[in-house]
Structure 1
Amino acid sequence: MPSIRTAGPVSIRPMHSEDIDAVMKLAQRSPGSPHWTRGNFEQFEEISAVVLLAECEGQLAGFAAGSLVLEVCDLESVVVAEEFRRRGIATALLDGVTAWSRERGGLHIELEVRVSNHPAIALYERYGFVRDGVRRGYYSDPEEDALLMGLTFDSAGSAVEKNP
Structure 2
Amino acid sequence: MTIKVRPASLDDLPTLLDFEQGIIKAERPHDHLLKPDPISYYDIGEMIEAEDAEVMVVEVDGELVASGYAKVKRSRHYTSPDWHAFLGFMFVRESHRGQGINRVLLDALLDWSRQRGLTEVRLTVYPGNEPAIRAYEKAGFENYLTEMRLGLED
Query: Structure 1 length normalisation: TM-score?
Result: 0.72
Q: 1-side partners of 2:45 and 2:89: how far apart?
A: 15
Preserved contact between residue 62 and residue 89 of structure 1 (Cα < 8 Å):
yes
Q: 1:126 offset after TM fit, Å?
A: 1.0
Q: How far apart in 2 are the matches of 1:56 and 1:73?
A: 26
Q: Which letter does structure 2 place at the counterpart of 1:23?
A: L
Identity among equivalent pairs (%): 26
Question: What's 2:61 paired with?
Answer: 57
TM-score between the two structures when normalised by the length of structure 2: 0.76
SS of structure 1 residue aligned to 2:144: strand
Superposed CA offset, 1:34-80 (max 9, x none) = 9335xx11221124001100111321111011101363001122100
Q: What residue in structure 2 maps to residue 43 of structure 1? A: 46
Read off the aligned partner of 1:43 and give its amino acid letter.
Answer: E
Count of aligned pairs between the two proteins: 130
Q: Is the 8 A contact 1:24 1:36 kept in 2?
A: no
Residues 78-108 of structure 1, C-alpha deviations (whole Å, 9 max, x = no match) = 1001011001010011001000000011110
Structure 1 residue ranges, 4+ long, deviating more than 6 angstroms after superposition: none
Question: Larger strand proportion, structure 1 or 2?
Answer: 1
- Greater length-normalized contact order (CA 8 Å, ≥ 6 residues apart): 2
> Which ranges in structure 2 are unaligned for 5 or more consecutive residues?
29-38, 75-82
